[in-house]
Amino acid sequence: MKYAYFTGCVAKGTCPELHASTVELAKVLGIELWEMTDATCCGAGVIRDENPELQIALNARTFAMAEAAEMDIVNICSTCQQNLGQDNRAMREDPALLERTNDILSQNGLHYSGKTQVKNLLWVLVGDYGLDRLAQKVVRPLTGLRVASYYGCQLLRPVEDTGYDDPDNPTSFDNLVRALGGTPVDYAGKTRCCGFHILTVNEDTSTKMAVKRLEEAEEAEADIMVTPCPLCHTSLDAYQPRATKLQGSNVRMPVLHLSQLVGLACGIDVGDLKLNQLMVSPQSALSGVL
Amino acid sequence: MVDAAIQHDVLVVGAGLAGMRAAVAAREAGVDTAIISKVHPMRSHSGAAQGGINAAVAKDDSWENHWFDTVKGSDYLADQDAAEILTRLAPDNIRELEHQGCLFSRWQDGRIATRPFGGAGFPRTCFVADITGHVILQTVYEQVLKNGVTVYEEFFVVSLIVEDNVCRGVITLDMSTGKLSAVRAKAVVFATGGSGRVFYKSTNSLISTGDGVAIAYRAGAPVEDMEFIQFHPTTLASNGVLITEGARGEGAYLLNSEGDRFMFKYAPTKGELASRDVVSRAEWTEILEGRGVNGCVLLDLRHLCEARIQERLPQIRELAIDFAGCDPVNAPVPIKPGAHYTMGGIRVDKTCASTVQGFFAAGECSAVSVHGANRLGGNSILETVVFGKIAGVSAAQYAREHDYASFPSSALPDQESRRNALFQTTGKEKVAVLRDAMQAVMNEHFHIFRNEAQMAAGVNKVRQLRERFANVAINDHSMVFNTALTEAFELDAMLDLAEIIALGALARKESRGAHARIDYKDRDDANWLKHTVITRSPEGPKLSYAPVTMGKFQPMERVY
Amino acid sequence: MKSTFLIQRYVPEQDSAPHVERYELDLWDEATILDGLLAIKDSQDDSLAFRRACRHAICGSCSMVVNGYTKLVCKTAIASEVKRGRSELKITPMRSMKVLKDLIVDMSPFWKHFRDVEPWLQPDPAKVPPPNEEYRVTPQQLAPSRKDLNCILCAVCFSDCGVTEVDSHFAGPPALAKAHRFVTDPRDSKRKERLEKLVDLGLWDCAHAYNCMECPKHVDPAHAIADLRRISIEAGITNNIGAKHSQQFTKSVGRNGRLDETRLVMELTGITNVTGQIRNAPQGVRMLLKGKLPLPMHQKVDNPKEVRRIFETVGTKDEQ
Ligand SMILES: Cc1cc2nc3c(=O)[nH]c(=O)nc-3n(C[C@H](O)[C@H](O)[C@H](O)COP(=O)(O)OP(=O)(O)OC[C@H]3O[C@@H](n4cnc5c(N)ncnc54)[C@H](O)[C@@H]3O)c2cc1C
Ligand code: SF4
């Protein structure tokens, strides 16, 4: 299995540990990753707001590179998944748009025919790799660990772009947790927004949203939360101390990235997974597993 | 006399198109105006109007042609002076809506587009895709907000207070608190919509229960031509949801089980676009004669192709998918006639004034009468707009010329005891059971084809249901949003209307428009070119007849 | 088809808190959730309170939360939930609004936001055509607001939106879609004023969760909001944190192909805004200590020149 690996900006910026754990995990699972060091930012919906065709052109460039390398794209971020996915669909559905975009790409000697598929790591693990196969790789089962899988919002919508799970009743993440030996917990906020995208614009509202998600997981007696996305990760973990302080909440919830959780179950060294870089230490939550 | 907590110069009951249009007109005329509605204005049934609104806006059309089509469509029972007002004022009213913001669909040159509709000699139906009523309702609601008209939402009017033939106001139930209170007004306008729910699987909203007509009737206002119930030719079999006439306007075919476009047998020139009564009878005949498909005929849009359907009829497509499990792009939709429109209503004159001083009515609850025995598609929301405005102006003028009249002290306690009776009764009857029974009786006995024996039996059944209603019990005794109570009030109203419809129909010994009798197959202008007028009396409903206002158009045979 | 409805009940006069009641139903296969509720009201419990009117998705009355997601229940088949493996339908009132009774909520905050966008046409009085003429508007000019017109104000999206849930100031998706309808109306004369007001009403507070894409009428408020943002920047309404964030973000990507978050935050706070920088500092220090240190040299893509070329072709002047 070989993928064009789209790191996204945050895993190369403020959350380098998630890039590191993804690379380690891929090694253990025998998934080959070709890091797309030339891929741009996905636009995060921000560029789309301002100039939809610009964002599409940037992403088409990324798709063209993956297509030339004959690989599908894997990403480790819900926002990347949403934006790449939606723009990809837009071009597939609108041949004229694809043609216009190719005109722009041609100045860089690139062409995109619409074949590339975009998959979040979660979909790669659940869909391509397979949970049975994954279960066989588990050497450190998450027995007894109550895991609140946090799909968040962008991974699932719009459904036509991402298309791998039912946005109203997603099950893949929980199935994955089960395959790792853990206990999935159901909670109200699992597909609701973490507020990341307005963190700089409206910190109060954004942190309220994050705290609500954390509290919902806590109420369901989760030991940890897991996200497939460095942005949710930033909101929920990196910002957790500040958010809880601003909103006067006592919640304390360790939040792991998907690659870290799977890596953990697959026996990767805790140091290599950079769990020590989490803002909220998972030490005691994971004591039964480690 | 009691103190009214609330009072307004003009009080409009109903926040559909007619009600809001009236309120804005009254407000613009400078009087203090408020609206009472049992639902939020945007929930009113006007929003369901799909196909369009008629007006001779096109250069090569004329309002006189529209006038003629309307009178002919009515089977000559419309008052021609009222129909003249409707059609003459139509184009300016459309453009006024347009100036207020309504985004009508356009031709390439930027002018308002029109589509063909049934019974019309010219494509003169203006539209917004297939959500015309919805978008016009938005526009009129926007004007209500802009003009700061007070709206009492989720207030249910239970009675109209009239003494010495002068209207004094209404009693309302604040649904959120259960409080009954008196609202005084110098002039009251009813715009309470249709009564489709008297019938089974009607196209109408669950709230189209005809309360206003029944309330006015109880207060002494005469009602007119209630036996004329329009059965729309294209409704979904599963739940009666409407497929607009606009579908046929855009070119859809009606097919029987043999795949024939049968309409040309019944209407050699207009085919599918004949008047609604004609098409519904044709469909029913096909079904009765064994050429139906599971009790339906088929509406075929396939040849219009996906792009056109998506552009012009997107809502229809989705409704068919959701409720008939069938995508009109790929398969014909099974449809059948369903109760749709109440041609009759509170009897009013050209200024929308009833015979009760200070009491006005407009829209589907009224009979001005522009629809006579059969309304043309696209003329109804036109009526709400044109006569809504007229009602508002008339009411404002009346309010300026009169003072508040005193309120009888028994008015409020009467309604309180009425509610308490429903709470305290030890009876065993259920609202839902009686309602279902009433709808079944009306569909069975007063359907598209009627006859003496069947209708006489129907009248008896309706009266039995009325007797059973005395033993209705409600389990819910809560004050907050007691929808069991409001449903009981609605049923109470519908039972009155069912009897009125039944009596009017039984008495009218001819076939005209939507009233088709197999025992009197022809129109009988010599004896029956007249309005049925029913007034409440201590002995029960009293029938009388009133002349039709004739004019330029002499009755002719109606062929399409 | 058999199904179970677990309905949240609450009657203010008698209950101190909501409770759940269970109803068993056996209805026809195509029955909607509304059919289920009507059947319960008709034959099991007449006291169940919910709003409903048209029963075909045009009046917007019957929105409620079904198994965690807000639905217009007249348009949602019971089977669609059963197919998802949920033969039990947990039905609760909409979010973000106070429950008045059972499934009925107080929608006044929703309507207030709607009124706040001044939802009526405000033409230039000098340009209103005479009564016997309409404005000339081409089908192409109508296209941008076509989807907005579909909105039935059912509040499904309002109830599902993560921002409205915690922020009562945020106008919410339908009010913004309504605003979009007027901003894109060629007959309206108050475009700029509207856009300026929208910034105050929360234009930039949408967090891109895309829940509102599940609109039962395909309105797509997320797109309307994005479009309003684009138009407002085009109209030069950029003196606000949202527009600045957007512009700096795009610029940052134009520079190196990737987003430089640290620089973005500093630029937004304003390099000279000492208090702002200090306020951000503890968070920065915390992240630094945890090794979440943005690399001193922001990573560039391999060929930033290619990216710049794209910006030169499709980017607006400002973005270049
Ligand atoms: C599915 C459908 C499609 C249609 N399509 C078309 C079309 O394309 N073209 C056309 O011309 N016509 C069409 N019609 C007919 C047309 O829509 C209606 O006749 C018209 O909208 C009625 O408007 P109205 O204002 O009189 O009443 P409504 O819009 O029904 O409003 C009635 C108002 O009265 C209030 N009310 C009622 N009772 C009470 C009470 N007791 N207390 C307080 N308030 C009360 C309600 O709350 C509501 O606000 C269609 C009808 C249906 C059913
Ligand atoms: S945008 Fe859609 S979901 Fe939101 S209120 Fe309007 S119709 Fe309902």
User: ipTM of this predicted complex?
Assistant: 0.94
| CATH classification (class only), C108-234 | mainly alpha
C to A contact (≥3 Cβ pairs closer than 8 Å): yes
Q: Which of B198, B381, B387, B415 to mutate to test the pocket of ligand 1 (most atoms within 8 A of CB)?
A: B381
Choosing from B276, B312, B317, B435, the catalytic residue is B276
Q: What confidence score (pLDDT) does residue B1 get?
A: 44
Q: Where in chain A is the domain with CATH 3.40.50.11810?
A: 131-277
Mutate to test the interface with B, among C43, C46, C142 (most CBs of B within 10 A): C46
CB C4 within 8 A of CB C88: yes
Which helix or strand (DSSP H or E) is residue B497 part of?
helix B483-507
Token pair for B402: 């009169």
Q: Report phi then psi at B340, rounded to 5.
A: -140, -40
Q: How far is B238 from chain C (nearest CA, A)?
A: 9
Give C68-110 pLDDT, tens digit per residue. Answer: 999 999 999 999 988 888 889 999 999 999 999 999 999 999 9
Whether the pLDDT of residue C272 is over 70: the answer is: no
Give CA–CA dist B309/B329, Å, rounded. 7
Q: Which of C67, C162, C290 sits opposite A153 (nearest CB)?
A: C162
Mutate to test the interface with C, among A100, A198, A231, A274 (most CBs of C within 10 A): A198
Chain A contact set for C85 (CB, 8 A): 169
Query: Closest Cα partner for C152 from C53, C223, C231?
Result: C53
Chain A contact set for C172 (CB, 8 A): none
Whether the pLDDT of residue C273 is over 90: the answer is: no
Distance B387 CA to ligand 1 centre (A): 14
Q: How far is B58 from chain C (nearest CA, A)?
A: 11
CB C174 within 8 A of CB C158: yes
Question: CA of A18: how far to CAs of A191, A260, B154, B355, in Å?
Answer: 21, 7, 54, 80
Question: CA of B56: how far to CAs of B86, B112, B244, C299, in Å?
Answer: 11, 11, 20, 67
Give B474-511 pLDDT, tens digit per residue. Answer: 999 999 999 999 999 999 999 999 999 999 999 999 99
Give CA–CA dist A215/A204, Å, rounded. 16
> Is the CB of A200 less than 8 angstroms away from the CB of C264?
yes
Does the annotation mark B111 as catalytic? Answer: no
> Is the CB of A41 less than 8 angstroms away from the CB of C67?
no
> What's chain A's average pLDDT?
93
The neighbours of chain C, by the rule of 3 or more Cβ pairs under 8 Å, are A, B
Task: Pick the range with the lowest mean pLDDT from A265-274, B419-428, B507-516, C52-61.
Answer: B419-428
Q: What confidence score (pLDDT) does residue C276 get?
A: 61
Distance B468 CA to ligand 1 centre (A): 29
Whether the pLDDT of residue B399 is over 90: the answer is: yes
Q: What confidence score (pLDDT) does residue B238 get?
A: 86
CB A265 within 8 A of CB A140: yes
Q: Report phi then psi at B398, rounded to 5.
A: -60, -45
Q: Which of C152, C160, C164, C206 to mutate to test the pocket of ligand 2 (most atoms within 8 A of CB)?
A: C152
Q: How far is C56 from chain B (nearest CA, A)?
A: 7
Give CA–CA dist B403/A133, Å, rounded. 85
Whether the pLDDT of residue C163 is over 60: the answer is: yes
Nearest residue by C-alpha to atom 9 in ligand 1 = B378
Q: Which residues pair with A2 in a beta bridge?
A: A32
Top pLDDT among B191 and C303 is at B191
Give CA–CA dist B97/A199, Å, rounded. 43
Q: Report phi then psi at B61, rounded to 5.
A: -105, 170
Q: What confidence score (pLDDT) does residue C266 get?
A: 73
CB A208 within 8 A of CB C166: yes
Give CA–CA dist B398/B390, Å, rounded. 12
Whether the pLDDT of residue A160 is over 90: the answer is: no
Give CA–CA dist B353/B198, Å, rounded. 26
Q: How confident is the model at residue C260 (pLDDT cuts 50, 70, 90)?
A: confident
Whether the pLDDT of residue C295 is over 80: the answer is: no
Give CA–CA dist C252/C250, Å, rounded. 5
Give CA–CA dist B413/B403, Å, rounded. 24
Whether the pLDDT of residue C294 is over 60: the answer is: no
Interface of C with B in 132-151 (CB under 8 A): 132-139, 141-142, 145-146, 149-150
Task: State the maximum Cα–Cα separation within chain A, in Å, rounded to a whole number.
Answer: 57
Q: Which of C151, C159, C220, C228 to mutate to test the pocket of ligand 2 (most atoms within 8 A of CB)?
A: C151
C to B contact (≥3 Cβ pairs closer than 8 Å): yes
**Closest ligand 1 atom to Cα of B489:** 41
Q: How confident is the model at residue A161 (pLDDT cuts 50, 70, 90)?
A: low
> Is the CB of A38 less than 8 angstroms away from the CB of C242?
no
CB of C117 sitting under 6 A from ligand 2: no
Q: How confident is the model at residue B222 (pLDDT cuts 50, 70, 90)?
A: very high
Token pair for C128: 């209103």
Give B341-398 pLDDT, tens digit per residue. Answer: 999 999 999 999 999 999 999 999 999 999 999 999 999 999 999 999 999 999 999 9
CB of C161 sitting under 6 A from ligand 2: no
Q: What confidence score (pLDDT) does residue C229 get?
A: 97
> Is the CB of A13 less than 8 angstroms away from the CB of C262?
yes
Q: What confidence score (pLDDT) does residue C154 get?
A: 98
Q: How many CB pairs under 8 A join A and C?
A: 206
Quick check: bond before C304 cis, omega within 30? no
Q: Where in chain C is the domain with CATH 3.10.20.30?
A: 2-105
Average pLDDT over residues C105-128: 97
Please give the share of chain C, as a percent, with pLDDT higher than 70: 90
Whether the pLDDT of residue B9 is over 60: the answer is: yes
Quick check: bond before B369 cis, omega within 30? yes
Which ligand ends up closest to the CA of B363?
A: 1
Other Cβ atoms closer than 10 A to C264:
18
Q: Which of B106, B128, B481 sits opposite C101 (nearest CB)?
A: B481
Q: Where in chain A is the domain with CATH 1.20.1050.140?
A: 2-120
Give A203-226 pLDDT, tens digit per residue. Answer: 999 999 999 999 999 999 999 999
Q: How confident is the model at residue B94 (pLDDT cuts 50, 70, 90)?
A: very high
Chain B contact set for C49 (CB, 8 A): 480-483
Give A99-141 pLDDT, tens digit per residue. Answer: 999 999 999 999 999 999 999 999 999 999 999 999 999 999 9
The neighbours of chain B, by the rule of 3 or more Cβ pairs under 8 Å, are C
Give A236-273 pLDDT, tens digit per residue. Answer: 999 999 999 999 999 999 999 999 999 999 999 999 99
**Closest ligand 2 atom to Cα of C152:** 7
> Is the CB of B110 less than 8 angstroms away from the CB of C30?
no
| CATH classification (class only), A131-277 | alpha beta
> What's chain B's average pLDDT?
95
Q: What confidence score (pLDDT) does residue A228 get?
A: 95
CB of C94 sitting under 6 A from ligand 2: no
- Torsion sign across C-alpha atoms C21, C22, C25, C31: positive
The neighbours of chain A, by the rule of 3 or more Cβ pairs under 8 Å, are C
Whether the pLDDT of residue A9 is over 80: the answer is: yes
CB of C91 sitting under 6 A from ligand 2: no
Mutate to test the interface with A, among C253, C293, C309, C320 (most CBs of A within 10 A): C253
Nearest residue by C-alpha to atom 8 in ligand 2 = C154
Q: Which of C77, C120, C146 sits opposite B142 (nearest CB)?
A: C120
Give CA–CA dist B498/B458, Å, rounded. 10
Whether the pLDDT of residue B3 is over 60: the answer is: no
- The number of C-alpha atoms within 13 Å of C8 and in the hemisphere containing its C-beta is 20
Q: What confidence score (pLDDT) does residue A75 get?
A: 95
Mutate to test the interface with A, among C92, C163, C252 (most CBs of A within 10 A): C163
DSSP state of B48: G
Distance B45 CA to ligand 1 centre (A): 4
The DSSP string of chain A is: -EEEEE--SGGGTT-HHHHHHHHHHHHHHT-EEEE-TT-----TTHHHHH-HHHHHHHHHHHHHHHHHTT-EEEES-HHHHHHHHHHHHHHHH-HHHHHHHHHHHHTTT----S---EEEHHHIIIIIIIHHHHHHT-SS--TT-EEEE---STTT-SHHHH-SS-TTS--HHHHHHHHTT-EE---TTTTS---GGGTTT-HHHHHHHHHHHHHHHHHTT-SEEEES-HHHHIIIIITHHHHHHHTT------EEEHHHHHHHHTT--TTTTTGGG-SS--TTTTTTT-
SS3 B197: helix
Whether the pLDDT of residue B175 is over 50: the answer is: yes
Give CA–CA dist B187/B360, Å, rounded. 8
> Is the CB of B98 less than 8 angstroms away from the CB of C45?
no
Give CA–CA dist B181/B492, Å, rounded. 20
Q: What confidence score (pLDDT) does residue C318 get?
A: 67
Name the CATH topology of A2-120. Glutathione S-transferase Yfyf (Class Pi); Chain A, domain 2 (1.20.1050)
Give CA–CA dist B544/C12, Å, rounded. 50
Give A177-203 pLDDT, tens digit per residue. Answer: 999 999 999 999 999 999 999 999 999
Whether the pLDDT of residue C317 is over 80: the answer is: no
- Give the list of residues 6+ apart from residue C137 with CB closer than 8 angstroms, or none: B103, B106, B110, C186, C187
Give B109-127 pLDDT, tens digit per residue. Answer: 999 999 998 888 899 999 9
Q: What confidence score (pLDDT) does residue B559 get?
A: 86
CB C185 within 8 A of CB C120: no
Give CA–CA dist C10/B548, Å, rounded. 54
The DSSP string of C129-183 is: PPTT-PPP--HHHHGGGHHHHT-----HHHHH-HHHHH-TTS--HHHHHHHHHHH
Task: State the maximum Cα–Cα separation within chain B, in Å, rounded to a whole number.
Answer: 69
Chain C contact set for B239 (CB, 8 A): 55-56
Letter for the amino acid at C317? K
SS3 C102: coil
| CATH classification (class only), C2-105 | alpha beta
Chain C contact set for A229 (CB, 8 A): none
